[in-house]
Amino acid sequence: MENLKDYFHPSKMESVVDMKRKYFGTDGIRGKVGEHPVTPEFIMKLGWAVGKVLSNEGQGKVIIGKDTRISGYMFESALEAGLSAAGVDILLLGPIPTPAIAYLTRTLHADAGIVISASHNPYFDNGIKFFSADGTKLPDEVELKIEAMLDEPMTTVSSDKLGKAERMEDARGRYIEFCKSTISSKVTLKGMKLIVDCANGATYQVAPSVFEEIGAEVITLGDQPDGLNINQDVGSTKPEAMRETVLREGAHVGIGLDGDGDRLIMVDEKGEIVDGDEILFIIAMDRYRRKSYKGGVVGTQMSNLGMEIALRDEGIDFHRSKVGDRYVMELLQNTDSLIGGEGSGHIICLDCLTTGDGIVAALQVLAAMQQNGKSLHELKSGMSKFPQSLVNVTMSRRIDPDSDDKINNAIKQVEEELGDAGRVLLRLSGTEPLVRVMVEGRDEDQVSVLARQLAQVVEEVASGE
C-alpha cells in the first residue's frame, strides 16, 4: 500500500477527488522542484500538450510569465521548447504578477496564458497554472484534453511550422496603467505614507510604481529577490516585518503581497493586521455606500462569521463557497455577484479583473479611505471578528468525517453549546493527511476549549479507537 503522505501529495490528490484527473489540481500543477510532475522533462511535455490542444483548435499564441524563484528560468525554457515543438508562438513576459498575466492574455488576444509560480510557497516549490483567452481559469474540458495529450508520444512539427518566441518589453508598464485605472482618476494618495512588502516576488518591479504614481510616499520591503528568498520572512504570509515598519515609520498603511501578487494582507496605522475578510468587507461596504453596486458578496466556508453578520445587517447578501479561488469564482458567476474572496487575502473584484489581484484590492481599500475620509482602522471597525480556533488533526488512516456517527454526534454537542452565535467546520486537507477542525463563536475561551474537544474525538476516530 502507498505511504499515506504520498497518497495525499498534491500530484495525487486530484485522482482521489476526480478519477479523471492525474495532474491538474484546483489551481494547476504544483509541487517540489525536481519531483514528478514538477520536472523539466514533464513541463516540456506539458508545454507541448498545451500547444497541441490549442493548435488542434486553430489557435497558436501563448504568453508566459513567472515569479522570481530560481527554477522559473528552467521551466520557462522547458515550456518554450514544448510549445515551439507543437507549432505555437510564445510571448515571454518575464517576472510579473499572476493577475497581470490574466489581464494581458485577454488584452493581447492570446489563446492562453501560462503562469510559472508556486504563489506563497517557498522557493523550492514551483507550479504551472493557466488562464484561458478571456483571462479566467481553463475550462475543465480543456484541462482534460491536455491530460489526455500528455499520454501521447511527443512529436515535433516540421521546421517551417515551429513556434517563434519573443520577449515583451512593455508588459509591466501596461499592467501598471491597468492597475491605476481600477480607481477613479480623482483619487490621489498624496500625503499618504505606505509600506509596500513585495515578498521578494513578482510584484517588486510593479507595486511600488503603482502607488508612487498615484502620489503616495512608498517605503518598500521584500524588493530584492535573489531566486531563493521569495516569501522568506516577508509578504502576506509573514506580515511581522511590515507591521514593525508601519509603526516605526508612522505609516498610514502596510500593504503585504505574496510571491505572485494575487493575495493581499494589510496593516493599519495602529499596527493591527487586516486580513482578507476585513479587506473584503471594506471593499463591499465602500461599493454600497457609493451606490455603485447591488450584488452580493462571496466568501468561503472559512470566512469569519463576523463579516457575514456585518454585511447582512447592511442588507447585503452573503454566499459561502468551498475553500479555493476557483470555487469563489464559480459562486460569483452563479449568484451574479462581483466581489468575493478568502481570509488569506485572495480578493476578486470582477468589476476590475477576472482573478484575484493584491495590488488592485489594495487600491480599492486606499480609494475607500480617501473617499470616506477615514483611516484603515476606522473602516475595518465596521465588522467585529468572531474568535476562531483551528486545530489540525493528523490522520493515521483516511476517514470521512461527514459519515462518522461519533464525529457527527460530537459536532451536534458543540453546535448546541454555541447556539446561534457560532459554527463548526470540519474539512479534509487537499494536500496533507489532515482533518482541519474549526470552531467559531463569540467567546474566545469557549471556542478554544470546544475545538480541542472536537479535535480529540476526530483523532480517536482517525486512530481507530
Residues marked as catalytic: 119
CA distances to 6, 307, 323, 359, 425 from 301, rounded to whole Å, are 27, 12, 6, 25, 8
SS3 annotation, 93-153: EEECCHHHHHHHHHHCCCCEEEEECCCCCCCCEEEEEEECCCCCECCHHHHHHHHHHHCCC
**What residues are paired with 166 via a beta bridge?**
91
Question: Is residue 31 helix, strand or coil?
Answer: strand
75-78 own/partner pairs: CB under 8 Å, 24+ apart: 75/40, 75/43, 75/116, 75/126, 75/128, 76/116, 77/40, 78/40, 78/41, 78/43, 78/44, 78/47
432 burial via Cβ count (<10 Å: 0-12, 13-18, 19+): middle
CA distances to 314, 368, 369, 377, 405 from 374, rounded to whole Å, are 19, 8, 5, 8, 50
Q: Are 66 and 75 in contact (CB under 8 A)?
A: yes
Question: Is residue 201 helix, strand or coil?
Answer: coil
SS3 annotation, 367-413: HHHHHHCCCHHHHHCCCCCCCEEEEEEECCCCCCHHHCHHHHHHHHH
Q: How far apart are alpha carbons 60 and 80 in whole angstroms?
A: 13
Q: How far apart are alpha carbons 210 and 99 in whole angstroms?
A: 14
The count of other CB atoms within 10 Å of the CB of residue 309 is 14
Residue 28's φ and ψ, nearest 5 degrees, are: 85, -145
Would you state the cell numbers that stand for residue 20, as one nine-digit string?
479523471
Would you state the cell numbers that stand for residue 262, as one nine-digit string?
494575487
